[in-house]
Copies of this chain bind each other. A is one copy, B any other.
Amino acid sequence: MKIASYKSGRDGLLMIVDKDLKTCCAASHIAPTLQAALDDWANIAPQLEQEYEQLCKGTHSAAEPFDTSRCAAPLPRSYHWADGSAYVTHVELVRKARGAELPASFWEDPLVYMGASDAFIGPQDPVEVESEDWGIDFEAEVVIVTDDVPAGVTVGQAASHIKLIGLVNDVSLRNLIPAELAKQFGFYQSKPWTAFTPVLVTPDELGEAWDGSRLHLPMRTTYNGELVGAPNAGQDMTFDFPTLIAHCAKSRSLMTGTVIGSGTVSNVGSEAGSCCLAEIRCLETIRDGKPSTPFMSFGDRIHIEMLDAQNKSIFGAIDQVIVRYTAPKE
C-alpha cells in the first residue's frame, strides 16, 4: 500500500495512491489524517488496503490522477523524529577529512539525534533558509515509521513494528553544526527542515529489496540535474532499522508515528557517489587538501528518488529548490 497526504490544514488529508503513482483517492472516510490512521493502525490499515487494491486494479470509483504538486509530507507533523547516522563509513570519512580518529564504539553503539518533527515539509516545497553562509546541504536518507513500540524491545521484536517506509531530504546547515556539536547537546538550529517523498509505502511493496531490516536499492541523488550519488542503501548500513528501533526504545516506549531515519546513505569508497555535499567535500579534502564543491546556493535544486528493479519510482521524487527566507518585520 502507498500512502500520501494532500495539503490541507496542519495535518493534511490522507490519500491512498496506486502502485504506479498514477491515481489516488481520498481516505478521509476511513481516517482523516495519517496520524489518526497510525493511532489505530491494526484496524485502519486493512480498510486502507482494500481501497488500495481497487485503486491498483483500476476499479475504484473515486480514483483521480495523483498530483504530487499537491503533496504535503505524508505525515505533516509527527510526535517523534529520531535520526540515526547508521552508515558509519560516512561518519568515518567526515572524521578522516578533518584528521580525527573515529572512536571504536561508533561501530557498536548507534548515533541517533532527536530532530524537529513539528513541520515536515512536502516533496516539492521550497527549502527556506535565511543565509547561504549557513552552509546549506541536503542528506538523502531512508526512514521508517513505527507503531507503538514497548520500552526494552529487542532487535528481534523490533522489525514487526516497522509499518511504513519512505525517503527524506534532511536539510543540514553545515556551518552551524560545529558550534552545536561542541556544545554536546545535539543538532538544533543546524537541522531545520526534513522533506519527505510524496508517498510512504508498507514493507510488502518493496518485495525482495526489503529484507525486514534494510532497503537494498540505490538512493538516486541528483543535484542541479546531475546524478551525484546512487549508493545502495542496503549496503554498509552498520545499524539496520530494527537495531535503531531497539536503541531508541532502550529506556522508554515509542509512540505510534515515530519516524526513524538512517542518516545519509553512504557506501564504503563512495564509488557510486554521495548523498550529501558534505561527503563530496570530505572526499575532495582527503584528495586535494581542501574542498572545491561549495554548499548549496539559492536557486539550487535537489532531487531524491529510488527506482525498483523495473526502473519505476517507488516513493515518487523529492524535488526541491533552495530559496531565501526573509523574516517578517517587527
**Number of A residues with CB within 8 Å of any CB on chain B:** 62
Is A252 located at the chain interface by the 8 A CB criterion? yes
Question: A193 is contacted by which of B79, B252, B258, B325 (Cβ under 8 Å)?
Answer: B252
Complex alpha-carbon distance, A128 and B251, angstroms = 9
Question: A251 is contacted by which of B79, B150, B173, B248 (Cβ under 8 Å)?
Answer: B173
Look across to chain B and name the residue whose beta carbon is closest to the beta carbon of A173: B251
Is A227 located at the chain interface by the 8 A CB criterion? no
Do residues A328 and B150 form an inter-chain contact, with CB atoms below 8 A? yes
Q: Is the interface of A mostly helix, strand, loop or mixed?
A: loop
Do residues B179 and A119 form an inter-chain contact, with CB atoms below 8 A? no
Is A210 located at the chain interface by the 8 A CB criterion? no
Question: A176 is contacted by which of B114, B251, B326 (Cβ under 8 Å)?
Answer: B251
Question: A118 is contacted by which of B150, B153, B255 (Cβ under 8 Å)?
Answer: B255
Look across to chain B and name the residue whose beta carbon is closest to the beta carbon of A255: B118
Interface residues of A in 99-118 (CB under 8 A from B): 103, 105-106, 109, 111-118
Complex alpha-carbon distance, A247 and B186, angstroms = 14
Number of copies: 2
Question: A325 is contacted by which of B109, B111, B115, B151 (Cβ under 8 Å)?
Answer: B151
Do residues A116 and B118 form an inter-chain contact, with CB atoms below 8 A? no
Inter-chain contacts of A183 with B (CB < 8 A) = 106, 109, 111
Look across to chain B and name the residue whose beta carbon is closest to the beta carbon of A157: B330
Question: A152 is contacted by which of B103, B130, B250 (Cβ under 8 Å)?
Answer: B130
Interface residues of A in 214-272 (CB under 8 A from B): 247-248, 250-255, 257-258
Inter-chain contacts of A82 with B (CB < 8 A) = 188
Do residues B111 and A185 form an inter-chain contact, with CB atoms below 8 A? yes
Inter-chain contacts of A151 with B (CB < 8 A) = 128, 130, 192, 325, 327
Complex alpha-carbon distance, A250 and B129, angstroms = 10
Complex alpha-carbon distance, A102 and B146, angstroms = 40
Do residues B153 and A327 form an inter-chain contact, with CB atoms below 8 A? yes
Inter-chain contacts of A77 with B (CB < 8 A) = 79, 255
Q: Enumerate chain A interface residues (CB-CB to B < 8 A).
A: 10, 39, 77-80, 82, 85, 103, 105-106, 109, 111-119, 128-130, 134, 150-154, 156-157, 173, 176, 179, 181-190, 192-193, 247-248, 250-255, 257-258, 325-328, 330
Other than the given A113-B188, A189-B247, 20 more pairs (CB < 8 A) read: A77-B255, A79-B79, A80-B116, A80-B118, A109-B179, A111-B183, A112-B188, A113-B186, A128-B151, A129-B251, A134-B251, A152-B325, A153-B327, A173-B251, A185-B187, A186-B186, A189-B251, A189-B252, A192-B251, A192-B252
Of the A-B pairs whose beta carbons lie under 8 Å apart in the complex, a sample of 30, sorted by A's number, is: A10-B255, A79-B118, A80-B116, A106-B183, A109-B179, A111-B183, A111-B185, A112-B188, A113-B185, A114-B114, A114-B115, A116-B252, A119-B253, A129-B251, A130-B152, A150-B327, A151-B325, A151-B327, A152-B325, A152-B326, A156-B330, A173-B251, A176-B251, A182-B184, A184-B184, A185-B187, A186-B186, A186-B187, A189-B251, A193-B252
